Structure 1
């Protein structure tokens, strides 16, 4: 697989709604996989979906991250598997075409405009030599 075109959606599988034992991450993964398969060519072939035990978004379940090689990473919270799957798929379609992953909140679909927990720029590698020592 060409790592330059690698895209992933990571869903927290530990998040629970307060006062319940419901862990909506597993349901969300299942729904996302089905909708992305159904979308076919509308989403890049290399878009992967996986779960992770914790993304520290416990206060805002269900937490979802978008990652791409050399792209900004997004973390969204308060995602309802019954309501926001369409917004997540639409954002996946957008994200694949953003060369650096960067977009404004007004460009994100539906609830994702207001449920962004974080946008982390892609890693920058310093190529310049420096005499400054880091301790």
Structure 2
């Protein structure tokens, strides 16, 4: 028998299908409590409405996902939100309070959609997001023996 610790299987699945050119991901499951994240569900609903009102629904799908592992345990509800798209940098913002205005999130969506590669300096983000940046991850470049695939 193998005595090595086994990697836990994510439940629910962390795989999220993308049906629009860009995707905004909002945590809806909490690794700290092992249950659903009510603030995440509230933010998800609010952000879907705001993206639609801003006329960005054709460019963005707003999806809930398993824990993005960027929140502070027992912090009372601030959320983690991520932006991703094919061939673009991925952005992750933390400590997003669903009770606060989300105009900065919508503005970031506009900026992100306009960039070919999704890359910008943190100082170019809407002001309230500058201090909440958890990660800016370069777009993945998959390389095979036959060459790069993007």
What TM bracket, shorter-length normalisation? 0.7 to 0.9
CA distance in 2, matches of 1:16, 1:124: 29
How much does 1:50 deviate? 0.5
If asked which structure has higher relative contact order (CA below 8 Å, sep 6+), I would say 1
CA distance in 2, matches of 1:78, 1:15: 14
Contact 1:14-1:53 within 8 A present in 2 as well: yes
**TM-score, structure 2 length as denominator?**
0.72
- How many residue pairs get aligned? The number is 123
- Aligned residues of 2:31 and 2:69 also touching (Cα < 8 A): no
Aligned mates of 1:53, 1:84 — CA distance in 2: 24
- Structure number having the greater strand percentage: 2
The alignment status of 1:37 with 2:60, answered yes or no, reads no
Question: Which residue in 2 is equivalent to 1:102?
Answer: 119
- In the superposition, the TM-score normalised over structure 1's length comes to 0.79
3-state SS of 1:87 partner:
helix
Matched ranges for 1:119-134 at <5 A: 119-126=136-143
In the TM superposition, residue 44 of structure 1 has moved relative to its aligned partner by 5.8
Distance in 2, Cα, partners of 1:14 & 1:95: 25
1:47 to 51, 54, 60: 60
Q: Which runs of 5+ in 1 are unaligned?
A: 130-135
Structure number with higher helix proportion? 1
Where in structure 2 are there 5+ consecutive unaligned residues?
1-17
Output the CA distance in 2 between the equivalents of 1:118 and 1:58: 13
Structure 1 residue runs of 4 or more that deviate by more than 6 Å after TM superposition: none
